[in-house]
Amino acid sequence: MTLLTAENITVTRGGKPILRDVSLQAHAGEFIAVVGPNGAGKSTLLKVMAGLLKPDAGRVMLDAGPLSALSTRQLAARRAYLPQNPQLEWPISVERLVALGLTPKLPATGGLPESYAPTITRALEQCDLVEKRDQAATSLSGGEFARAMLARAIVSSPQILIVDEPITGLDPRHAMQSMTLLQSFARSGTLVIASLHDLTLVVRHASRVIVVVDGGVIGDADSLTEELVHRSFRVTCHLTGQGDSRALTLLSPSEK
Amino acid sequence: MKLNLTLVTLIVLAFAASLLAGRIWLPLASLLSPHDSLAGLIIFDVRLPRTILALIVGAVLGLSGAALQGFTRNPLAEPALLGVSSGAALGAIIAIYFGLVALSPITGPLMGMVGAVAACALTFALGRNGTVALVLAGAAVSSLTAAGIALALNFAPSPYAAYEIMTWLLGSLADKSWTQVMLVAPFAAIGCVLLAMTGRALDALSLGEAQAQSLGVNLTRLAAMVVAGTAFSVGAITAVSGAIGFIGLVAPHLVRPFVGYAPRRVLLPATLAGALLLLCADIAARLVHTNPELRLGVFTSLLGTPFFFWLVVRIRKVAP
């Protein structure tokens, strides 16, 4: 079932095109990895798909209607978004940080209803943070903080989960755990779109790869191929193994 | 919850003390004395309106300080730092200067609010790109309004008028009656309701603007509510009490560690702490016998400045 559709998206900043005429269809249950070099327009594409940035041309459709027809609150109830390098301004506890993900479901005033406690605990468990729940989130290590933010994004069980570089800065164990988590979300019917730089984890976990270079989609496939990596990053690589042992080894920058 | 109960208890005690303390000390039993006795007159017509006004002014300063600190995500934000108080003061002075207040007393608070809205809107319009820009914009707007006030003093029709404006600027709750309470209360209430409704959005905003927006927070509406709420409430109280600093800065900081730092949970206790602080300061200012009297605004500034220094030292330690 097609959930989210981008139709001829163009974004321009200061006369410079960031995205040019990008179209794609995303379906429930997909785990789409958006890969590409720095400055290719991945973050911009994610923001547009999340309805947080209005494109200069084109439109994004959710189900059959345009995304822009939804109120910010209606949209927030169905889609969670996590920016690159998320920040936190006050030393609130991890538990409260995660609870902020429930904001769209809560009334404008009053405390957090007790009935949400199990939901929060589940998100903390999934992100391996139960022991840290009462600690100030600003005192966490970089990796723990990234996981806390991921818990914040998944706590509302969104239909669409859009995350910008969720595993940057995580150690191998937690990077793999986060990818498995995102994959399990997709398998349970959520549409997951994530920009990623760890290509081995991309070939292991993502169900679809979109390659963005210079503001345009140059590849849209079930998985990465050596040829796609070469075309997008201009590096040669070697793909080995099957299933969970698949690996992508980068060899050397290739000649033009 | 415990914190709020403690604060309410302290406020009740301070409330009773405020009715009994002053140039003439009244015995506890006089709280029950009839209205037409001397003690009754002092309590009901002099000290009760002053006490209630102190609570309103303190509560507004505490709440607006907490909301502004949450909104700007800046621990130094308070109505005065963002130019809101001085904007209100300029508005009220214009009303005094051109004799509008003599025609109709309600023009004082109204012009105060107009000044506060204008100053607040200007600060937020200039300082949209982050907190440093906002604090700078607040400083710029404060200078502008200070220039306006200086201009009014310069061209004051008589030395007496200049003195009048000066003493009013220092901030005081002396010689206030029920009329002032009635003038301020409705606007303060409207402003406080607007600010109290921002809690959930302020919590989400602690994740930064991008995430708050993705969580369904309408940033434009939030800014409008904070500006309007601050302008209504701070504009009205400043027009009656003059400029009273530091309560808005200090109150949220005092309660924040007890409620886990979440901006929404700071709002109510900061309101109560502001009311308590200002009431205590007013009682203290009354009990210090000086001639001329020690003005409340001066007193809070004297108390608040060391706190500001402490904050600067602490931030220097915490900052990377």
Maximum Cα interatomic distance, chain A, rounded to a whole number of Å? 61
d(CA B60, CA B247) in angstroms, rounded, equals 10
Judged by a CB distance cut-off of 8 A, whether residue A72 touches chain B is yes
Record: contact B200-A109, CB cut-off 8 A: yes
Confidence check: pLDDT of A117 > 80: yes
Of B199, B214, B263, the CB nearest to A52: B214
Yes or no, beta carbons of A100 and B200 under 8 Å apart: no
CA distance A158 to A56: 27
Instruction: State phi, psi for B267 to the nearest 5 degrees.
Output: -55, -55
**From the list B196, B215, B263, which residue is nearest A76 (CB)?**
B215
Question: What pLDDT does residue B192 have?
Answer: 96
pTM of the model as a whole: 0.89
Q: Please check the confidence at residue A254 and state whether its pLDDT lies above 80.
A: no
Residues of A in contact with B218 (CB under 8 A): 72-73
Return all residues near A137 (Cβ < 8 A) that are at least 6 apart: A88, A91, A92, A93, A94, A96, A97, A145, A148
**Virtual torsion, Cα A71, A74, A77, A78, nearest 10 deg:** -100
Dihedral Cα B254, B255, B258, B260, nearest 10 deg: -110
Residue A204 forms contact with B (CB below 8 Å):
no
Beta bridge partners of A7: A59
A93, B211: Cβ pair inside 8 Å? no
| Minimal-distance CA residue of chain A relative to B74 | A89
In A, minimum Cα distance to B73 occurs at: A89
What three-state secondary structure class fits B279?
Answer: helix
How many whole angstroms separate alpha carbon A99 and alpha carbon A72?
A: 19
Mean pLDDT of A67-90: 91
**Which position has the higher pLDDT, A162 or B162?**
A162
A250, pLDDT greater than 70:
yes
Q: Which chain A residue lies closest to B265 (C-alpha atoms)?
A: A111
pLDDT of A172 strictly over 50 = yes
Chain B nearest C-alpha distance from A134 (Å): 10
Smallest CA–CA distance from A162 into chain B, residue: B214
pLDDT for res B270: 97
- What is the least distance, in Å, from the CA of B197 to any CA of chain A? 6
Q: What is the pLDDT of residue A183?
A: 94
Q: Which residues of A touch B197 (CB under 8 A)?
A: 108-109
DSSP-derived secondary structure for A141-165: -HHHHHHHHHHHHHTT--SEEEEES
User: For residue A22, what are the β-bridge partners?
Assistant: A9
Per-residue pLDDT of chain B (320 residues; tens, 9 = 90+): 789 999 999 999 999 999 988 878 888 877 777 777 888 888 888 899 999 999 999 999 999 999 999 998 888 788 887 788 889 889 888 888 887 877 887 787 788 888 988 998 898 888 776 667 777 888 899 999 999 999 988 888 778 878 878 877 888 888 888 988 998 999 999 999 999 999 999 999 999 988 999 999 988 888 889 888 998 899 889 888 888 888 999 999 999 989 988 999 999 999 999 999 999 999 988 888 787 778 888 888 888 888 888 877 877 766 54
Among the partner residues A81, A92, A106, nearest to B200 by beta-carbon distance: A106
ipTM, 2 dp: 0.88
pLDDT of residue B320: 46
Contact A92 B199 (CB under 8 A): no
Q: What is the per-residue pLDDT for B23?
A: 79
Does A142 contact chain B (CB < 8 Å)? no
Closest CA relative to residue B226, chosen from B79, B84, B71, B16: B71
State both tokens at B234: 């701070």
Closest-CA distance, B190 to chain A, in angstroms, reads: 16
Most confident region among A41-50, A134-143, B88-97 by mean pLDDT: A41-50
Mutate to test the interface with A, among B205, B214, B217 (most CBs of A within 10 A): B214
pLDDT of residue B10: 96
- Are A211 and A217 in contact by the 8 Å Cβ rule? The answer is yes
